[in-house]
Amino acid sequence: MVKCRNVFIRLAYKGILKPFFFRRDPEDVHDAMTRVGVMLGAHAFTRTITQWKFGYSDPLLQQRIWDITFPNPIGLAAGFDKDAELTSIIPRVGFGFEEIGSITGLPCAGNPKPRLWRLPKSQGLVVWYGLKNKGSKFLSEKLRGKKFEFPIGTSIAMTNCSANLDTTTAISDYHMAFEAFTTIGDYYTINISCPNVTGGQPFIEPEKLDLLLTDLDTIATTKPICIKLSPDISFDELDRILVVAEKHRVHGIICGNLTKNKDNKRIIDSNIPEHGGISGKPTEELSNALISYIYKSKKDRFVIIGCGGVFSAEDAYKKIRSGASLVQLITGIIFEGPQVVSEINCGLTDLLRCDGFSSISEAIGVDSR
């Protein structure tokens, strides 16, 4: 029944909606879809209809991680719901969790438009938003006291401005946003890997990361903390980052963000914009390599969240078998349609059962042992 429903929605998306959307400006489509999501999330009736169209659940997919119950392992990655407007509807589209943001200390208009492009042949996007968001004060006040239907991660980044070229100022900026969210959401992500901000990615340098995490250690919170890595780092750089992470209050690693490396064999479109980082299929193997490496070297020390190029149940399963406990996506939903979340969860239950697993935790890392 669910599979038939998904086939029907897939055909409608790929045959009608996707060609219509793909002829329009990607940011305009994203903004329009956000407005639709806000409307659908505002009323119990439209939430129920959305659930009926896109929902899927199976106890096999449920996990308890960091004392938080994740109904399924598929989450919406940071960057889709920058200002936390969709938290009422995203669980009804079938996601098991969501990361809001990235949220910065101060409000940020982002880079000038255009700042989002599609790579139809490469199945990716070029993203140059530059951390557009309404800022930590506004967003924390808006969300304070709100009850969420599923786990929420808060992605924190530094404001995209020249003042943050100074390390101490940049750390204060992260501190401001981090402190604003101590009682909101279920876990934090510290985004040290946005490719689109003034000054680049200073906190992938171990000494600077150490200073940042030492500062954040002083903020009282019981929430788990993840750091989000660039998929472009070498294993040597990764080793040094993990040494620092182990010294501090870091519970999870997200692998990973957008790739800046345009010399990637999965990029087959021509005329790639000069600015921006790339999502989707060009990030998939880079992300899988990081997941495997971290799982092999650190086992259970960190919960790994796999992110990059997940378009199908097989893609998500590969990340889980490589060592990821949870998986996130954005680009897959844009290329495959909103039913892809349910398709992935439904397909995962088939794959787990077919391999004789009675829970996701049994499958985590089996290919990296």
Ligand X SMILES: Cc1cc2nc3c(=O)[nH]c(=O)nc-3n(C[C@H](O)[C@H](O)[C@H](O)COP(=O)(O)O)c2cc1C
**Of 13, 95, 128, 129, which lies in the binding site for ligand X, with binding defined by CB under 6 A?**
129
Measured from the CB atom, is 258 or 303 closer to ligand X?
A: 258
Overall size of the chain counted in residues: 369
Give me the least distance between CB of 47 and ligand X, in Å please. 24
Residues facing 154 on adjacent strands: 100, 188
Q: Which two tokens stand for residue 63?
A: 């996990």
Give me the least distance between CB of 124 and ligand X, in Å please. 7
What gap in Å lies between CA 305 and CA 326, rounded to an integer?
5
Alpha carbon of 241 to those of 14, 207, 228, 293: distances in Å? 41, 9, 11, 13
> Any residues with CB less than 8 A from the CB of 227 and at least 6 apart, and which?
189, 190, 192, 209, 241, 245, 250, 252, 253, 254
Q: Which stretch binds ligand X (CB under 6 A): 74-82, 104-112, 143-151, 161-169?
A: 74-82
Q: Determine, following the binding rule CB under 6 A, whether residue 295 of this chain makes contact with ligand X.
A: no
Q: Determine, following the binding rule CB under 6 A, whether residue 329 of this chain makes contact with ligand X.
A: yes
What gap in Å lies between CA 234 and CA 359, rounded to an integer?
33
Q: Determine, following the binding rule CB under 6 A, whether residue 307 of this chain makes contact with ligand X.
A: yes
Helix H, strand E, coil C: the string for 55-66 is CCCCHHHCEEEC
What gap in Å lies between CA 10 and CA 18, rounded to an integer?
10
Q: Determine, following the binding rule CB under 6 A, whether residue 174 of this chain makes contact with ligand X.
A: no
For residue 113, the 8-state DSSP code is: S
Give me the least distance between CB of 200 and ligand X, in Å please. 15
Give me the least distance between CB of 207 and ligand X, in Å please. 22
Residue with the CB atom nearest ligand X in the bound state: 79
Q: Which stretch binds ligand X (CB under 6 A): 57-65, 124-132, 141-149, 166-174?
A: 124-132
Give me the least distance between CB of 333 and ligand X, in Å please. 8
> Any residues with CB less than 8 A from the CB of 228 and at least 6 apart, and which?
78, 155, 189, 190, 191, 192, 193, 253, 254, 256, 257
Q: Number of residues interacting with ligand X: please give it, by CB under 6 A.
A: 27
**Of 155, 164, 292, 345, which lies in the binding site for ligand X, with binding defined by CB under 6 A?**
155
Residue 97: alpha-carbon gap to chain centroid: 10
Q: Determine, following the binding rule CB under 6 A, whether residue 105 of this chain makes contact with ligand X.
A: no
**Of 75, 332, 338, 347, which lies in the binding site for ligand X, with binding defined by CB under 6 A?**
332
What gap in Å lies between CA 1 and CA 4, rounded to an integer?
5
What gap in Å lies between CA 201 and CA 123, rounded to an integer?
25
Q: Determine, following the binding rule CB under 6 A, whether residue 79 of this chain makes contact with ligand X.
A: yes
Q: Which two tokens stand for residue 268?
A: 């087959």
Q: Judge contact between 124 and 63, C-beta under 8 A.
A: no
Q: Determine, following the binding rule CB under 6 A, whether residue 191 of this chain makes contact with ligand X.
A: yes
State the first-to-last Cα distance of the chain, in angstroms, to the nearest integer: 37
Q: Which stretch binds ligand X (CB under 6 A): 76-84, 172-180, 260-268, 339-347?
A: 76-84
Q: Determine, following the binding rule CB under 6 A, whether residue 201 of this chain makes contact with ligand X.
A: no
Give me the least distance between CB of 369 and ligand X, in Å please. 26
**Of 111, 279, 292, 339, which lies in the binding site for ligand X, with binding defined by CB under 6 A?**
279
Neighbours of 286 (CB within 10 A): 21
Q: Determine, following the binding rule CB under 6 A, whether residue 125 of this chain makes contact with ligand X.
A: yes
Give me the least distance between CB of 149 and ligand X, in Å please. 21
**Of 100, 245, 258, 348, which lies in the binding site for ligand X, with binding defined by CB under 6 A?**
258
Give me the least distance between CB of 109 and ligand X, in Å please. 14
| Residues that bind ligand X in the complex, under the rule CB under 6 A | 77-79, 101-102, 116, 125, 127, 129, 131, 155, 191, 194, 228, 257-258, 279-280, 283, 307-310, 329-332
